Structure 1
């Protein structure tokens, strides 16, 4: 992400050390002019509309975020840390925010237990917590894709087989897994942009350089599900595959073909099949499109934000406004 200038204006990592040992790491990133409407979704944009009309421009904020831009937020920490550590980390975060001049500080998409660990330090620094979009997780405990389908509830099983049938009945339709896919990037970008244009919220816009690094960097375990119609790229889904966990990162679709070929669902099914083949037992399908993911057998895992603002009046308004304005799909 850093090498590709993706998203934020800068990245900083706060390290807590004991002697020569790193005991905790807080990943942070800052935006100096983030369009608030892009983050809040449709509900938030409606709420912001009067202010946009007054200002005659998008509402932009200067914000320091803690966690991870592309997924679940975490503070990396060793076991057995002293009770004073959350306050030490919070002091460092506040000092960083002051040095950068950011008015907002946000812990983005954190598991509730991680924020519970920070709860006292958050309260002392006037943070409030608000629900985030949940992640959709799939547990895979099957030795074949057919057995996985058989394990789904009846309606989901029939839906999956119907979707696969629609794809397979298209003459010239093919699907494959690629570990190197940089040669396809010129064809992938318009399909990715088509999905991005329809996204309700977004913090980042992927670049050809970033997708090239996913394909070519040997330290990044990325694979792409590639769907074609008559040899032409019709859709793709990018995954990271670890030893036991996989993450579906981004999808691109030709919307002229997507519905009648069921490209969204079929790309996910092929990723599940690859996960079973490689021994992965859990897949994070991340946020949004929850109805389709529930039909694949996913369950939702709650995430939260913790938010503060330097101005006390703004804080009081945000405490009331943000929970109403944030995209609440899936809850």
Structure 2
């Protein structure tokens, strides 16, 4: 057998169990079969592929999650001064991105979640060498399949600690660029209750929190279970659409039916709360307990009532309460709304993506273009007492 054989699968369920058993270091929920299968079943417009590298002894050394999407740059709003708007304007000015037809994008990573959820390298292998081999395998796979008219390749969401490894992608003509950060709250070990968290806030931010809790006191909050979710999905869907429509940038719409399978597999580790004003649902939040972290997922909000009832602010505090009650270490709020998330204690975690256009000349232009793109700056609040300023 050649030094590094490559296996390709169109469904995660096609991957043999003996291969899965070799990846003993799978910790993240986002790389488990049940999670990836739930995404596949509920998102037919996304093409899912899975690439596995084998070493010379047929031992699996790396696993990559591929999601191929059609992205329309027209969906990026023109009325918002956002990081994504800058990408759109510069890209179209340089004729890098089509204006009307879809941009076929191959993503190594997760379209729906911020973070490093696209690559798993088995223990004992050289990570720098392996990621280069994965990049080559992905390119060869696309070139050998005429069905894929890929415009560009994207490796997404690497933290600073990983860049010494992922910068090897530059050897395959990938260009790094910074994106809006993941907002992370590091929970203090002394926070045994939500009141402990409140007491650690400076007066200004504690007053703000109590005001939001007072404004939202008439909301009735339901803990959604796997038995009750089906009855609430249609209302949740309407609220999610409001948020998605309001977003400046969205790679793909999430199908909320996926929640039912998440809850079936994770039971109490998948968190969904719905918010009602009398008998009307006005919001929902969702998240997963992933090892020692709570990862905030999608939310839905009735924007007409958001200011009056402080719905979104209440959700942020409820995420914090869930994390404290479960003795977790971190709370990943994800991207967007960075300033308001920093007001509850979250700090930015820098993320880097790597992009390569399939056309070599265009790819060289993209390098210059990406150097001009920077995340939207925001005011970082420092809400805690007795913390370094």
- TM-score where L is the length of structure 1: 0.88
Matching residue of 1:177: 223
Of 218, 222, 226 in structure 1, the residue corresponding to residue 270 of structure 2 is 222
Going from structure 1 to structure 2, the CA distance change for 1:126 and 1:50 (only over 3 Å counts) comes to closer
Unaligned runs of 5+ in 2: 1-38, 77-82, 380-389
Matching residue of 2:209: 160
Confirm or deny: 8 A CA contact 1:37 1:44 kept in the other structure: no
Name the CA distance, whole Å, in 1 between partners of 2:377 and 2:110.
21
1:254-269 → structure 2 map (5 Å cutoff): 254-269=302-317
SS at match of 1:73: coil
Confirm or deny: 8 A CA contact 1:182 1:211 kept in the other structure: no
Going from structure 1 to structure 2, the CA distance change for 1:7 and 1:250 (only over 3 Å counts) comes to farther
Matching residue of 1:77: 121
Confirm or deny: 8 A CA contact 2:132 2:172 kept in the other structure: no
Confirm or deny: 8 A CA contact 2:112 2:254 kept in the other structure: no
Count of aligned pairs between the two proteins: 323
Q: Which moved more, 1:190-199 or 1:320-329?
A: 320-329
- TM-score where L is the length of structure 2: 0.76
Of 8, 14, 27 in structure 1, the residue corresponding to residue 51 of structure 2 is 14
Matching residue of 1:41: 84
Confirm or deny: 8 A CA contact 1:65 1:108 kept in the other structure: yes
Aligned Cα RMSD in Å? 2.6
Of 103, 127, 131 in structure 2, the residue corresponding to residue 61 of structure 1 is 103
Q: Does 1:124 align with 2:171?
A: yes
Name the CA distance, whole Å, in 2 between partners of 1:77 and 1:35.
32
Q: Which has the higher contact order (CA 8 A, sep 6+)?
A: 1
Name the CA distance, whole Å, in 2 between partners of 1:116 and 1:284.
23
Going from structure 1 to structure 2, the CA distance change for 1:262 and 1:150 (only over 3 Å counts) comes to same
CA deviation digits over 1:257-313, x for unaligned, max 9? Answer: 111110001012112112211222211100000111001100010001111112222
Of 181, 204, 210 in structure 2, the residue corresponding to residue 134 of structure 1 is 181
Going from structure 1 to structure 2, the CA distance change for 1:209 and 1:323 (only over 3 Å counts) comes to farther
Shift in Å at residue 80 of structure 1?
3.0
